[in-house]
Amino acid sequence: MTDAGDVEADLRRQLLSTAQRLPIIGLSAAATGNVSVRCGDDLLITPSGIDYAELQAEDMVRLDATGRVSDGQRRPSSEWRVHRDLYRARPEFGAIVHSHSACATAIACQRRAIPPFHYMVIRAGGHDIRCAEYATFGTQQLSDNVATAMAGRSACLLANHGQIAAGPDLPGALRLAWEVEELARQFCYTLQLGEPVLLDDAELARVSAQFRDYGQQC
């Protein structure tokens, strides 16, 4: 039988590893962005304002459902409310990655959604990747805006801020964040040539059906 302490220790190591991959794959620089993972009824999240390269597993911050931090821990990321509220509302989410990746942020600063210019937008759960309305970072209003933009979705942009992606686990959330950034990059290139031709709802429905049987089936 696995001890709860062993489970938490393993999640801390996974969270650290995921956070340290963000700058390597071009999703964030230094201490920007944040990552979290469910831990029982609580969550573990990266601390505020520390370069990922300097982090240790013990620096990961455990929060309860109210956002309370145990004595002696680091200060959590300023966006902890976004993570807490998404976990509350979306039981299918096991991990969340928030980044300031360059192309997704550029589009978010235009306060644009990523439309269905490419069929891979379906990977975020719908026919577009919405842009959450702007609110000051670290506020409850930002969390509320993200929840609205994420309704029926697993990723969205944050106006004048960045992007957020969620998945069943840390690898899934990180992969989706990377896919959102790649789509944003392609969309930026496309806009240099003019407005893209968008896929219609019928085609997106076919794509969605195809994805249900995509990949290696057990």
Could you list the active site residues?
A: 79
**C-alpha span between 98 and 70 (Å, rounded):** 23
Nearest alpha carbon to residue 157 among 138, 139, 181: 181
CB 126 within 8 A of CB 157: no
For residue 135, the SS3 value is coil
The 3-class SS string of 141-188 reads: HHHHHHHHHCCCCCEEEECCCEEEEEECCHHHHHHHHHHHHHHHHHHH
DSSP strands (E only) in the chain: 34-39, 42-45, 61-63, 95-99, 131-132, 155-158, 162-167
